[in-house]
Amino acid sequence: MGVFSNKISREELKPGDHIYSWRYAYIYAHHGIYMGEGKVIHFTQSQGGREISTGTVLDRIIFSSSPSESRNCPNCGDQSSNCGVISSCLDCFLADGDLYLFQYAVSPASFVAKPRGGTCTIAASDPSSQVLHRASYLLHNGFGVYHLFKNNCEDFAIYCKTGLLVITRISVGRSGQATSFLAAASAIVSSPLRYLTTSFTGLTAVGYGMYCFSRLVSDIGVRRDVEKVAVERLVSASAGFQET
């Protein structure tokens, strides 16, 4: 693994690993927790882990790139109508994509050096036994309602690995992909520093600097609006919220 790629082989996988696979010409990545024995637990809104129908304008982009046929796996069966937290074999999770390992406890320099969000975090991972327990518990009890920016597949995997939840409702969740999209938009349209230079090179440098800074301060390992929450408490609180 290097700065530009976290690609690994299947032989390197260990139970409790946070893995992901890029979808549709690297538009986004799908994340999950490897449970061992070729099984992955992951969070999806629909289409058996393909996450189309996100409820945003991105639906049109993702849907236009998605294969029309459903995958009927001899191990998993037809998961095309499944949603929420599901268990799939590694082949179904990857959907013909490559395998990547999400990195934890990276240095701030290494984090910023990654050009794309959703591949690493400064936060440290908990022991694999806790990670597997959270993933298994959520498989049977759910992880709430899918939301592209506040509660997506990467949020699920990061929670399983760290037990950290964002406790404010005004910001995005734990997902590095979501914060990267917002950081890029912020760097383009809202930075006052763009008025300090008119050259293309200068604008590019300022924009990239703002992008990196926004990603860094939004990382789950840096943010102050996070709290360690036991999975049993999370599920209990979610159930109580749905009843009210």
Residues marked as catalytic = 30, 42, 153
Amino acid in position 5: S
- Is 137:239 a contact under the CB 8 Å cutoff? no
Which of 157, 155, 100 has its CA nearest to residue 132?
157
Which of 48, 10, 7 has its CA nearest to residue 26?
7
Helix intervals (H) in 19-127 = 58-65, 90-94, 108-113
Which of 17, 33, 22 has its CA nearest to residue 97?
22
Which of 79, 123, 124, 118 has its CA nearest to residue 100?
118
- Residue keyed to tokens 């992008």: 211
- Is 35:112 a contact under the CB 8 Å cutoff? no
The helix (run of H) or strand (run of E) holding residue 21 is strand 18-23
If you write DSSP's letter for every residue of 46-103 in order, what string do you get? SGGGT----SSTHHHHHHHHS-SSPPEETTTEE-TT--EEEEEEHHHHHTT---EE-B
Give the count of alpha carbons within 13 A of 143, CB side only. Answer: 31
